[in-house]
A and B are shown apart, each in its own frame.
Chain A
Amino acid sequence: MKITRKDFLRISGLGLLAVAGRKAVRAVAERTSERASEQTSAPFAKQVRWGMAIDLQKCRQKDGCDRCIKACHSTHNVPQFSDRAHEVKWIWKEPFKNVFPAAQTGYTREFFGNLPVLLVCNHCDDPPCQDVCPVKATWKREDGVVTIDFHRCIGCRYCMAACPYGARSFNWLDPRPAIATVNLDFPTRTKGVVEKCNFCEERLAKGLGPACAESCEEKAIVFGDLEKPDSEVRRLLRSRFAVQRQPELGTGPAVYYIV
C-alpha cells in the first residue's frame, strides 16, 4: 500500500486527536469518580486519628501522683535505671518552665514555673523522627500513632537528635535486669535500640484506651479520635483553651495541654 503525503497527514492528525480526546475523557472520568467516592464513602472511610488532651489542673490535683507513669512503665516493660544519664522513660513529668519556656511572664513564672507537666511522645502529624530514620524503623501509622520496630532499629540515635521534644530514650545497657516484673504480653527490648511512648498501640488493637488514661483517677488524660467531631477529646478541645508543645516547629503534635 502506498501512503501519500495527504494520507499520512490525515492519519497522524487523527491519531493526535484520538490521544487528546482520550486524555480529556479520562480526566473528566477521574474527576467524576473522585466526586462520587467523596460523596458515597465519606462517612465510612474517614480515617481515625488518635490524639490526647491532658488537663493540667486536674493532673496537679493530687500532689506527687504518678499512677499513670507507673501504669505505663509496668505495662510496657520500661526499665528503671537510677542514674539520669541512662534513664528510659515513656511518660514523665517536667517543670512547666522547661516545657513551655515561652508561654510565661516573669510574674507567672513564680507560680506556674515549677508546676509539673506530663510529657509523652506527641505522635506528630509530620514527625521529624520518621524522616531521619535511615532504616524506616520508626514511622507514622495511618491512625497517627508513631511507632518503632525494635527489631529493625540499628541504634544510630538520629531520631533522638531530630525529635524536638526529647521524647525518645535509648537503651544504653541491657534493660532486662532493670525491669521489676516482666509483663509477658509486651516485648522487652535489647540494648542498643531506641524506644518511646507508643500510644498503647497494642491496647488500641484490642479496643482498649491507653494505660495511662485508664489509670488516672482524676480523668486528667482524655484519649480519642481527633477526626471524630463528637469524640470526647474533640468536645474537650472545643470547650477549653488548649496548647501544643512548640507548634511553631510545624510538627503538628497530637497531644494537647489544657491550661
Chain B
Amino acid sequence: MFMFEKALTGGRKYWLWITSLFLLVLAGSLCYVLQLTHGLAVTGLSRDVSWGLYIAQFTFFVGVAASAVMVVLPYYLHDYQQFGRITILGELLAVTAVTMCILFIFVDLGQPTRIVNIVLHPQPKSVMFWDMIALGGYLLMNAAIAVVTLTAQREQVPAPGWIKPVIILSIPWAIGIHTVTAFLYSGLPGRSYWLTAILAPRFLASAFASGPALLILLCLALRKLSGFDAGREAIQKLAVIVTYALAINMFLILAEVFTAFYSEIPAHEEHFEYLFIGLNGDRHLVLWMWLSTLLSGVALALLLVPKWRNNIRLLVVACVCVFVSIWLDKGLGLIVGGMAPSPLGAVTRYVPTLPESAIVLGIWASGALMITVFYKITLSVWEDN
C-alpha cells in the first residue's frame, strides 16, 4: 500500500499505542459479532427510540469530515500559505471521518448483508441515497487529493494540474455532505425537533467549530510527539475559525429555543423540555445537555479574549470544551432528543448498552488507528525532505 512501510517504524510508545487501539477494535468487533447473532436487541434502542448512538456518531463525524473545508478553502482559494501543511492533515482527517461514518451506518443496519440493495434498487427520492453519493464522492476526492499531493511532495515536484479542479470541487462538496446529512432529518414530518430550516446551517456551524478544534488538538499533539510544528500563526487562525463557528452555532441554538418557547407550540417545546428540563419524570439527559451548554459557554469566553486564545494551554482547554460540548449536543442530544417524545407522546429512556458502547469505541479506535498511520506517513515524507 501507499508508503505504508513508513508507518511500520516507531518506538516502544508508538507500538504500545497501536496495540491498545487494535485491542479496542478487536473488542468492538467481538461485540459486533454478538449484535449480528442476537440482533440489535443488544443495544439500548427500542421501538420508540429507534436510532441512537450509532446514527448520532455518524452525524457528528460527517461534521468533522466536512470541516476540512476550513483549511482547504483558505489555502487554495485565498492562497493562505500558513495552512500549507495543515491542509493535508485536514484532508486526511476527512478521509478518516468519512470512513468512520460509513462504519457507523453499517453497524446500525439490521440486515447488513443486504447492503448491496442500495446499489441494486436505488431510490433517488430517499435522502439516504444522496447522502451515500455525497459521502462516497467526498471520500474518493479527499483520498485522491491527499495521495497526489503527498506523492508530489515526496518526489519534490509540483502536484499535477488535474488535481486542482478536484480540490476546488471538494469545497462546495464538503458543504454538501453536511447539508444532505441535515436533510436526512429536517425533511421528516412529525419530528418537530428536526423539522427546522436551520438544521443544516446549525450542522455546518457546529461542524466548523468541532472539526477545527479537533485539528488544533491533533496538531498540538503532533508537536509534542514528533516535533512537527504546524506553525503558531496557522493554529491561531484555526482558533479564530473555531471562535466564529462556535458563536454562530450558539446563536442558532438560541434562535431555536426562542422559537420553540415563545410560540409555546407544545410539539416544539416538548423536545427541548425533554432534553433540558426533563419530561414525564425522565431527566436522564438533562445533566449532559446542561454540561454541553456550560462547556460551550466556557469555550466561547476563553476563545473570545485574544490573550487567552493565544495562550496555548488555555487554547487546549477551550478546544477540548468545544469538542466535548458539540459531541454531547450532536452525538447524543440531537438524535435521542428528536425521537423522544415519540409521535404518540411516549418518553422512552434510551441508555446505550455495554456492547453498543464497545462497538462505538471500536470504531473510534479504528479512526484513531487510521489517523495515526496517515499522519505518521505524512510526517516521515516531510522529514525525508
Contacts and interface: CB of A to CB of B under 8 A. Distances in A.
Given A98-B345, A164-B189, A249-B189, A154 B50 contact: no
Interface residues of B, number: 44
A161 B191 contact: yes
B132 to A, nearest CB: 7
A170 B51 CA distance: 11
Interface stretch (B4-12, B38-46, B137-145, B285-293): B38-46
A130 B124 CA distance: 11
Interface residues on A, range: 35 or more
Interface stretch (A20-28, A32-40, A55-63, A131-139): A131-139
B111 interface: yes
A87 B39 contact: no
A97 B114 CA distance: 40
Given A98-B344, A128-B189, A251-B189, A154 B114 contact: yes
Contacts of A75: none
A92 to B, nearest CB: 10
A128 B185 CA distance: 12
Given A94-B344, A173-B41, A192-B109, A154 B117 contact: yes
Contacts of B232: none
B93 interface: no
A154 B121 CA distance: 11
A169 B122 CA distance: 23
Chain A interface helix/strand/loop/mixed: loop
Contact of B118 (A99, A134, A157, A162): A134
Nearest to A131: B125
B110 A154 contact: yes
B47 interface: yes
Interface in B67-119: 105, 108-112, 114-115, 117-118
B123 A128 contact: no
B117 A132 contact: no
B263 interface: no
B385 interface: no
Interface of B: 38-41, 45-48, 50-51, 105, 108-112, 114-115, 117-118, 120-123, 125-129, 132, 184-185, 188-191, 266, 339, 342-346, 348
13 contacts: A85-B46, A130-B125, A134-B126, A134-B132, A135-B114, A135-B121, A153-B111, A155-B40, A156-B128, A170-B40, A173-B39, A190-B111, A192-B109
